[in-house]
């Protein structure tokens, strides 16, 4: 009787459906790429992390080192190669490869070498992972993101840059340190270029529910005067140069910022992040990639939020747009 039931149901031939798991691709196994892989694995952001680098020995060594620690992380698989096929069918690809920024060198000085690399590598990646969301991290990220859109032909919502997510984190840290409150209770964005012309959006910033410009201070921690705010803005811009001068590269904070973007996409969080994307009539600004508070989810970038800005902030944002646009024109974009 049991045999008849088994025959009727043909249980032996039932094949369980294959579950689709998330796959993160990282282009470049240098300081930023390998640290971003580590951060993503520690946060359990993706089931598979795939590294692509022209240096086969280096990428294989990074894969081996990361794989040896899987026991202490969320379950995942790490793969890597110098062959672009390793990124096939990725859900998200983070592009970290590029010319290394030297001490004293601006991000915009890096543009020529990095754009040449993107032109050489990106089309092949898009061919094997046409449905992935692409996040450009390589500096100068705004110009590189604009160039990558032209080179790849991908729609603007599918490819964007990490922008000022890290800069905004630096600003929030400085505000928290000055005021003596937890950084998680500080809400402030840096907008514009990820670079020298970026600007904090003080008008829309808050600490808890208190507008930042109305913050009177607590105990020995005084208010955020104009002088204090200006000093913070300078430190946000200059901190990357100090880190590069001291250790050769920034990698930990940008890797954590990148992993936050990765999770927003893979988990469809619809999180508001100041990423760099192609603007079309954003407060009168068009045809340039700049960072503004943006909803990020499974389809990449969605709506950009028209946050309140003072006349000085709007002027600064337009000045930043022109700075990025002029560099893009220099390289034929």
Please check whether residue 283 is in contact with residue 310, taking contact to mean a CB–CB distance below 8 angstroms: no
Q: Catalogue the E-assigned strands of the chain.
A: 23-27, 48-52, 77-81, 92-95, 133-136, 159-161, 186-187, 190-191, 199-200, 206-207, 210-211, 271-273, 276-279, 288-291, 294-297, 300-304
For residue 77, which phi and psi values (nearest 5 degrees)?
A: -120, 135
Catalytic residue among 68, 178, 187, 194: 194
Cβ neighbours of residue 137 closer than 8 Å, sequence gap 6 or more: 32, 36, 94, 95, 96, 161, 162, 254, 258
DSSP letter for each residue of 57-86: HHHHHHHHHHHTTGGGSSS-EEEEESSGGG
For residue 82, which phi and psi values (nearest 5 degrees)?
A: -95, 5
Task: Mark whether 187 is an active-site residue.
Answer: no
Cβ neighbours of residue 6 closer than 8 Å, sequence gap 6 or more: 12
Distance (Å, whole) CA 124 – CA 138: 18
Distance (Å, whole) CA 313 – CA 201: 7
Please check whether residue 198 is in contact with residue 164, taking contact to mean a CB–CB distance below 8 angstroms: yes
For residue 298, which phi and psi values (nearest 5 degrees)?
A: -60, -30
Q: Catalogue the E-assigned strands of 133-188.
A: 133-136, 159-161, 186-187
Distance (Å, whole) CA 280 – CA 187: 25
By annotation, the residues acting in catalysis are 194
């Amino acid at each position: 009787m049991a045999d008849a039931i088994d025959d009727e149901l043909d249980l032996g031939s039932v094949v369980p459906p294959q579950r689709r798991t998330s796959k993160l691709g990282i282009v470049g196994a240098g300081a930023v790429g390998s640290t971003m892989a580590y951060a993503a694995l520690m946060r359990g952001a993706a089931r598979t992390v795939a590294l692509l680098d022209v240096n086969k020995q280096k990428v294989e060594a990074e894969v081996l080192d990361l794989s040896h620690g899987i026991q202490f992380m969320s379950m995942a698989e790490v793969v890597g190669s110098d062959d672009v096929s390793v990124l096939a069918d990725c859900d998200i690809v983070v592009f970290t490869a590029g010319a290394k920024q030297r001490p004293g060198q601006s991000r915009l000085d890096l543009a020529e070498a990095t754009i040449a690399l993107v032109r050489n590598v990106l089309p092949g990646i898009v061919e094997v992972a046409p449905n992935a969301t692409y996040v450009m991290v390589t500096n100068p990220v705004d110009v590189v993101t604009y160039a990558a859109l032209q080179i790849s032909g991908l729609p603007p919502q599918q490819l964007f840059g990490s922008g000022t997510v890290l800069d905004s984190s630096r600003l929030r840290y400085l505000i928290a340190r000055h005021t003596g409150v937890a950084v998680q209770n500080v809400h402030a964005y840096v907008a514009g270029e990820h670079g020298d012309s970026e600007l904090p959006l003080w008008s829309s910033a808050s600490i808890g529910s208190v507008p930042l410009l109305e913050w009177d201070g607590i105990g020995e921690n005084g208010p955020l005067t104009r002088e204090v705010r200006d000093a913070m803005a300078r430190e946000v811009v200059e901190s990357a140069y100090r880190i590069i001068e001291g250790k050769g590269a920034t990698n930990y904070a940008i890797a954590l910022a990148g992993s936050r973007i990765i999770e927003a996409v893979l988990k469809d969080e619809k999180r508001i992040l100041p990423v760099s994307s192609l603007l079309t009539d954003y407060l009168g600004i068009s045809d340039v990639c700049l960072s503004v508070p943006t909803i990020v989810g499974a389809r990449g970038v969605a709506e950009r939020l028209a946050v309140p800005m003072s006349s000085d902030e709007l002027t600064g944002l337009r000045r930043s747009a022109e700075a990025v646009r002029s560099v893009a024109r220099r390289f034929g974009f």
